Structure 1
Amino acid sequence: MSILWSLQLRREAASVPFARRLLLGAMETAGVDPDICYDLSVALSEACANAVEHGGHGAGATADYQITAYMDGERCRIEVSDSGPGFGEGAARRVVPDPGAEAESGRGLMLIRKLADHVRVENLPGAGGAVVSFDKLLKWRENAPLTAV
């Protein structure tokens, strides 16, 4: 069983819960374990919030960002990309420090790294932008309507 969906959304705060509910609905309907659904939906929310906040500043930036999600039976892979200035040098290899309890921002990538199995952060070549991609092994509910083959 495979599910693939792709969205292009406006960089507006209202797009974040929309994307989260779409992912949750697809995973819950397929029969993915609720804990996995929750982890991936929170990680997606964080990646979308980053794209909304940081993905539209600089030359060539657009008012949109893209999400692609793919469930292949054993794994779910999610990618969020924008056209903003991208990440600083070495962002893909850098360990994101804990911003501290009093910080008002800076927890998104750290949280994604804790919730997903693999995380990749990179800049898009050419016109710019950033991509946050992450994946997680899926667990299925007993008697799930769409189970891994």
Structure 2
Amino acid sequence: MSIWWSLHLRREAASVPLARRLLIGTMETAGVDPDISYDLCVALSEACANAVEHGGTAPDGTPQAYRVTAYLDGEKCHIEVADSGPGFRTARRTPRTAPSDAEHGRGLGLIEELADHVQFGNKPDRGGAVVSFDKVLKWRENAPLLAV
């Protein structure tokens, strides 16, 4: 059994907790270990916050939407957040360390620390950034997803 979902969200701050709650609810229901769930929810929040802050605007100046896709199966969770902004300056970024008191600049590094495999890139068609990451899942005893 696997679980897959995709959201098309408005580029506004209120969308970040919505995506996070859907992910945490899915993982709790499926029986994912709470520590793994927490790591993935923090990483998702950072990726969504980046999409909200840096995503594109329509010609009339209104913020464009961004997309969150998550896939859970028996061994891993894969999450992708894509926006319509200018994208990353380079497809491969080098990790940077922001000062501990900085208000910005730590999100992508945090995602790299919390996930097992991370990719930062740009959409080939219309532009925009894509942040995708995977994490190997651990399960609670008698997890519903494993029982099927």
Pick the TM interval, shorter chain. Answer: over 0.9
1:64–1:82 Cα contact (<8 Å) kept: yes
**Aligned counterparts, 1:90-105, within 5 A:** 91-92=91-92, 94-105=93-104
Gaps of 5+ in 2: none
- Specify the alignment match of 2:12 in structure 1: 12
1:67–1:80 Cα contact (<8 Å) kept: yes
1:58–1:84 Cα contact (<8 Å) kept: no
Letter in 2 for 1:120: Q
- Specify the alignment match of 1:42 in structure 2: 42
Post-superposition Cα deviations, 1:91-145, rounded to whole Å, max 9, x if no partner, equal 42x3321101121100110000000000000011132101000000000001112
Give the TM-score, by structure 1 length: 0.92
Q: How many residues align?
A: 147
**Aligned counterparts, 1:1-149, within 5 A:** 1-57=1-57, 63-89=64-90, 91-92=91-92, 94-147=93-146
Once superposed, which parts of structure 1, at least 4 consecutive aligned residues long, lie more than 4 Å away? none
Range 1-10 or range 98-107, more displaced: 98-107
Gaps of 5+ in 1: none
Give the TM-score, by structure 2 length: 0.93
**3-state DSSP of counterpart to 1:106:** coil
For residue 56 of structure 1, report the CA deviation from its aligned partner. Answer: 1.6
Partners in 1 of 2:74 and 2:125 — Cα distance?
Answer: 34
Partners in 1 of 2:133 and 2:125 — Cα distance?
Answer: 22
2:58–2:64 Cα contact (<8 Å) kept: no
| Root-mean-square deviation over aligned CA pairs | 1.9
Give me the identity figure in percent.
71
Shift of the 125–58 alpha-carbon distance from structure 1 to 2, 3 Å rule, reads farther
For residue 148 of structure 1, report the CA deviation from its aligned partner. Answer: 7.1
